[in-house]
Amino acid sequence: MDKVALVTGSSSGIGFETALELGRNGYHTYATMRDISKGSKILEIAKKENLKIKVIELDVNDDQSIKNAVKKILDENKRLDLLVNNAGYFLVGCLEDMTEKDLKDQFETNFFGVVRIIQSVLPTMRNQKSGTIVNVSSVAGRIGFPVTPGYISSKFALEGLSESMRYELAPFGIKTIIIEPGVVKTNLFTTLKKATKADPAYKDITQKVLSGLIMMSQMGTQPQEVASTIVKAVSSDNPLPRYPVGNDAAMFLEAKKVKTDIEFENYIKKELFS
């Protein structure tokens, strides 16, 4: 029996590549996205390679959309083996530039969207006494950077949620995995959202950091590498709690581990501001 997977945010980037990689590894994969008109490319590849991939609508901010998508998957398969929470977006702006709504919207998608989907699939996984939940976080879920405090806070929250879930869900045979990419070569920076305000006081630091991140993204990790890491992790009988992906992620995390807080602050300033 093919294992059944649900991947959110599959119209491009990490979600797109993960859905394909899971299909190539024998999963009956549901590639979900808000706008299913963006699913033609993945369906074309799936048809060409004879992969069991379906595109269905799922908006992580819409309870009814989630309910409909999960119901469709369960009606067709009676089970769900893997959930990959990938949907999210990148909010740019210093804290004073953000309205309360900016920050709430960021969390609504990046954090509460994950919570809603997990809660919708857990009864099925508990009854099966099996399942794997993959939360695509970021190296920014463990390291703070300037100019993106909304995004970073949402990823820190996701890391804490994931750690807690591991304890709660392990007795039911459900595995929880965190994926921590560094800067990935996707359209994240072309589809980013900017904070509502743009206080001139933060213009210089915003431009410097954003330019640095965009430059890093041009040499960033390919989304295929993240997808391969996800498949490797879910294929393990005893997956690790976390999987950093990319040389930059490894570099930042190692520096964080060996340096004092002040040394690390200076290191980040040098990497992002110079």
Residue range 67-95: mean pLDDT, rounded: 97
* The two structure tokens encoding residue 24: 């190539």
What domains appear along the chain, each with residue ranges and CATH number?
4-273 (3.40.50.720)
The pLDDT value given to residue 274 = 64
The pLDDT value given to residue 188 = 60
The pLDDT value given to residue 191 = 73
* The two structure tokens encoding residue 22: 């899971």
- Average pLDDT of the residues of the chain: 94
Task: Tell me the pLDDT tens digit for each residue of 31-40.
Answer: 999 999 999 9
Q: Is the pLDDT of residue 140 over 80?
A: yes
Q: Is the pLDDT of residue 114 over 70?
A: yes
CA 7 to chain centre: 10
| Residues near 213 by beta carbon (within 8 Å), at least 6 away in sequence | 183, 189, 272
The pLDDT value given to residue 246 = 93
Contact 90, 189 (CB under 8 A): yes
Contact 52, 23 (CB under 8 A): yes
* The two structure tokens encoding residue 200: 């001139």
The pLDDT value given to residue 83 = 98
The count of residues in the chain is 274
Q: What are the φ/ψ torsions at residue 127 (nearest 5 degrees)?
A: -65, -35
End-to-end CA distance of the chain: 54
In angstroms, what CA-CA distances link 66 with 17, 45, 104, 105, 234?
A: 22, 25, 20, 18, 23
Contact 69, 56 (CB under 8 A): yes
| C-alpha dihedral (138, 144, 147, 149), degrees to nearest 10 | 80
How many whole angstroms separate alpha carbon 210 and alpha carbon 204?
Answer: 10
Least confident interval from 183-187, 219-223, 245-249: 183-187
Contact 60, 117 (CB under 8 A): yes
The pLDDT value given to residue 126 = 98
Q: Is the pLDDT of residue 183 over 70?
A: yes
Clarify whether 151 is annotated catalytic: yes
Active-site pick, 27, 30, 151, 202: 151
Percent of the chain with pLDDT over 90: 86
pTM: 0.95
Least confident interval from 171-185, 188-202, 220-234: 188-202
Q: Is the pLDDT of residue 272 over 80?
A: no
Q: Find tokens 């890391």 and name the residue.
A: 159
Q: Please give the single-letter amino acid code of residue 15.
A: G
Q: Is the pLDDT of residue 189 over 70?
A: no
DSSP per-residue letters across 133-164: EEEE--GGGTS--TT-HHHHHHHHHHHHHHHH
Residue range 197-215: mean pLDDT, rounded: 87
The pLDDT value given to residue 231 = 98
* The two structure tokens encoding residue 258: 């060996």
| Residues near 260 by beta carbon (within 8 Å), at least 6 away in sequence | none
* The two structure tokens encoding residue 246: 């990319």
Q: Could you tell me whether strands 242-245 and 193-194 are parallel, antiparallel, or unpaired per DSSP bridges?
A: unpaired
